[in-house]
Amino acid sequence: MMNNTMNDSHTDIELIVMRRVHLIRILRLIISTVVLAVLTAVAALWGIGREVWVARVFENAPSDVNGLLQFYTVAFAHTHIIVQALTLLTLASLIFLAREIIRLAFTLFTSSRF
């Protein structure tokens, strides 16, 4: 006569192994790309802070919403090339970080059955 646990669709050992597989997949995703994106954004922001007096930029910004886009466009166009490069690097790393967080959330929600 067969054991009843063998007839179950998921045995205990299978659930434990699959949990570990999903954990390793998630940790691999977190450690490799998210940490790299965060470190890149932090380093770029630090570089911007070394080159630009950020508080003065915010003080000089107009209070109305309509002029903000024009102000930041002109400020970006009239700054040093290193600040422009660091700003674009920060933006790219934050977009990449958002993409990785969405992928992580999708992975977590689709593998929640184990």
Encode pLDDT of 21-58 as tens digits.
888 888 887 777 778 888 899 999 999 999 999 899 88
DSSP assignment, residue 53?
-
> Is residue 9 included in any domain, yes or no?
no
Q: Report the alpha-carbon distance of residue 72 to residue 28 in Å, rounded.
A: 37
> Is residue 7 included in any domain, yes or no?
no
> Is residue 5 included in any domain, yes or no?
no
Asked whether residue 2 carries a pLDDT value surpassing 60, the answer given is: no
* Domain ranges, residue 73: 14-110
> Is residue 2 included in any domain, yes or no?
no
> Is residue 71 included in any domain, yes or no?
yes
pLDDT digits (tens, 9 = 90+) for 56-107: 988 999 988 888 999 999 999 999 999 999 999 999 999 999 998 898 888 8
Count of the separate structural domains present in the chain: 1
> Is residue 100 included in any domain, yes or no?
yes
Q: Nearest to residue 74, comparing CAs of 91, 60, 89, 64?
A: 60
Q: Report the alpha-carbon distance of residue 28 to residue 31 in Å, rounded.
A: 5
> Is residue 8 included in any domain, yes or no?
no
